[in-house]
Amino acid sequence: MTSIRRTLKSAILGLLLAAGPLTTAPADAQVVSGHIFGLTLANNGGSPNTTVDVAAGDATDSTNTYSIPLGAFTKVIQSSGSWTAGTSNNGLDTGARAANTWYHVFLLRKDADGSGDVLFSTSVSSPTLPSGYSNFRRIGSVRTDGSTNLLAFVQTGDEFIWSLAKYDVQGVSLGTTSTLYTLTVPSGVKVLARLRAANDPTGAGAAQVAVRSPDENSSQNTTFVTGSGHPLPTIAGEGVSAELLVRTNTSSQVAAISSVASNNVFYIRTIGWFDSRGMLY
């Protein structure tokens, strides 16, 4: 009996080794809508920095049809050449790496065997897919600077933090009409911006500023309501600052409004953002 068991174990082990590592989900695996695990992004630390590292993980594709696995992966946002399958190869779907541009990062599923790969695109929802790949999932976004290198960031879960906060609003004079300001957060998708806002009154009177999502009721565009949005109250001659979380629109914007006309100087430094990456809550 013992001999039979050993023979069976040896046969099973031989089959597993011959099959190689598991790269696709079993045919009967349950697909969980919106699921994403791991797949966090990181700068490669090179110079120039044009490469993105993707941690191992898996995610359900955007149609909630397939589960796509991926081992630790690296992909280059190339200055020339075309997308090439496999780690450490070109990852941009079309064109060449450009300055001051957002690139959305996609997990791809190979039709033939269900294995994963990575692609970059300026499109947030319709990347140009290479031949043999039909399903995808956006897993994050990265941005280049004026020299086409990647801006340094750190990702933990759904939170992205700039290594150096971006000075997006510098000393503007706010009035009593709501004004939109563009932040350095991904475009094409609504995210929860993490920012530091400051209000410095320039006149003798006190002012109050609210920073809000453009999705809030438009009646606040002309009427300031104490306590609405995220208020920054001040008294005459004294400034105040606060760290805020505000949802953007798809143009990377938040809105700000003052309780008085032209009696303050307003600032925003963008620390980072939270991105659900297609997760369903």
DSSP per position, 94-133: SS---TT-EEEEEEEEETTT--EEEEEES-SS---PPTTE
CA-wise closest residue to 108 among 77, 146, 144, 66: 66
Distance CA 228, CA 223 (A): 10
Which of the listed residues 155, 171, 188 is the one where a domain comes to its end? 155
CATH of the domain at 231: 2.60.120
> Is residue 200 very low, low, confident or very high in pLDDT (cuts 50, 70, 90)?
confident
For range 264-275, the mean pLDDT: 92
How confident is the model over 38-56, as pLDDT tens digits? 999 998 766 669 999 999 9
How confident is the model over 210-258, as pLDDT tens digits? 888 999 875 554 444 444 455 565 555 556 778 899 999 999 999 988 8
The stretches of the chain forming alpha helices (DSSP H) are 2-19
pLDDT > 90? residue 97: yes
Query: Is residue 266 included in any domain, yes or no?
Result: yes
- Of 3-17, 168-182, 260-274, the one with minimum mean pLDDT is 3-17
Domain shared by 188 and 85, yes or no: no
Query: Is residue 14 included in any domain, yes or no?
Result: no
pLDDT > 50? residue 8: no
Query: Is residue 50 included in any domain, yes or no?
Result: yes
Query: Is residue 57 included in any domain, yes or no?
Result: yes
Distance CA 133, CA 118 (A): 11
pLDDT for position 172: 87
Domain shared by 240 and 134, yes or no: no
Query: Is residue 279 included in any domain, yes or no?
Result: no
Domain shared by 118 and 169, yes or no: no
Torsions phi, psi for 221 (to 5 deg): -65, -30
Query: Is residue 4 included in any domain, yes or no?
Result: no
pLDDT > 60? residue 178: yes
Domain shared by 130 and 189, yes or no: no
Number of domains in the chain: 2
Domain shared by 120 and 49, yes or no: yes
Domain shared by 28 and 141, yes or no: yes
Query: Is residue 13 included in any domain, yes or no?
Result: no
Domain shared by 242 and 227, yes or no: yes
Domain shared by 176 and 247, yes or no: yes
pLDDT > 80? residue 188: yes
**Residue appearing with tokens 């009696």:** 263
Which of the listed residues 126, 155, 184 is the one where a domain comes to its end? 155
Which of the listed residues 155, 177, 195 is the one where a domain comes to its end? 155
pLDDT > 70? residue 13: no
Q: 223 lies in which domain range?
A: 158-274
Domain shared by 145 and 202, yes or no: no
Non-local (6+) Cβ contacts of 230 within 8 A are 197, 210, 211, 212, 242, 244, 246
> Is residue 260 very low, low, confident or very high in pLDDT (cuts 50, 70, 90)?
confident
Domain shared by 184 and 265, yes or no: yes
Query: Is residue 2 included in any domain, yes or no?
Result: no
pLDDT for position 176: 81
